[in-house]
Structure 1
Amino acid sequence: MTKNLLSVMLFAFVGGCLRAGCGQLWGGFWGTMLVNLAGSFLLAFLTYHAVLKEQLTGWLNLGIGTGLVGSFTTFGTFSLQSVQLLQHSFLAGAGFMTINLLGGFLMALGGFKLALYLNQERNND
């Protein structure tokens, strides 16, 4: 239990710092969209790649998935920015939400498919 909490805390610190850096680099709506799309891909890829290869212990998988990727992505900022965009332009707000939600799903699917592909390649060698 303590190992799990420490893992989440450590990786959350790193993910939060990465998120802050991306926010400063890209800022605003673009930064939010990029980290959410990248996070969706990474969470699916890392989860399935690690599960299929059985290389990560439970506490490390939890730290990376919940801590790192969970603090890197940002649902709260996405929600707030969606409301802000909708107040100014329905089309911009709807587009932002669509790109984040549909794009996030497609990125997660891509991460999952890449993990499956890499696992098949490993098994064929």
Structure 2
Amino acid sequence: MKLISVMLGGFFGAITRYAIGEWVNIDNGFPLGTLLINLTGCFFLGWFLTFITIKRNIKPEVTLLIGTGFTGSFTTFSTFSVETILLFRNGLAGYGTIYVLFSIILGLTLAYLGLKLALITERKGETH
């Protein structure tokens, strides 16, 4: 059942990534689609992993479906890496630098904000 959970999540995560990438596709040389996908994934995974840690009654299959399967295939470090190399190789060093800095700084910030949101939400739930 765990393998099926990862497979199903991965299937839907990959389709979602592809659809968003096509929808956001801007032909100016900057990989905005991948950046938005990865930043969304950072925020969501920060929130989700904190949320499931707090709740503790989430089935492992759900964690694998959503965290490992869906989010793992929705976000993509390999595409980020190749796009970065291509930006520098194609003489777009400014875009490449912005892409790397935004990906790292905003990615870490959004993962942290997702974690904080889960904690804040849990604290509000305790008071009611």
Q: Judge same fold: TM > 0.5, yes or no.
A: yes
1:27 deviation in Å? 2.0
The answer on 1:104 being equivalent to 2:102 is no
Per the normalisation by structure 2, the TM-score is 0.91
Q: Does 1:54 align with 2:59?
A: no
User: How large is the Cα RMSD of the aligned pairs?
Assistant: 1.1
1:28-39 correspondence runs (5 A): 29-39=31-41
Partner of 1:71: 73
For structure 2, which runs of at least 5 residues remain unmatched after alignment?
A: none
Partner residue, 1:7 = 5
**TM-score (norm. length: structure 1):** 0.94
The percent identity for this pair of structures is 33
In the aligned structure 2, how far is the partner of 1:70 from the partner of 1:83?
Answer: 22
Q: Letter of the aligned partner of 2:106 in structure 1?
A: G
The size of the alignment, in residue pairs, is 123
Q: Following TM superposition, where does structure 1 have runs of at least 4 consecutive aligned residues deviating by more than 3 angstroms?
A: none
The amino acid across from 1:110 in the alignment is L
Normalized per residue, the structure richer in helix is 1
* CA offsets 1:8-55 (integer angstroms, 9 cap, x no match): 000100101100101110126010000000000111111111221224
Q: Distance in 2 between matches of 1:94 and 1:111?
A: 25
* Structure 1 residues without counterparts, runs of 5 or longer: none
CA distance in 1, matches of 2:15, 2:106: 24
Alignment counterpart, residue 17 of structure 1, candidates 5, 15, 18 = 15
1:45 partnered with 2:53 = no
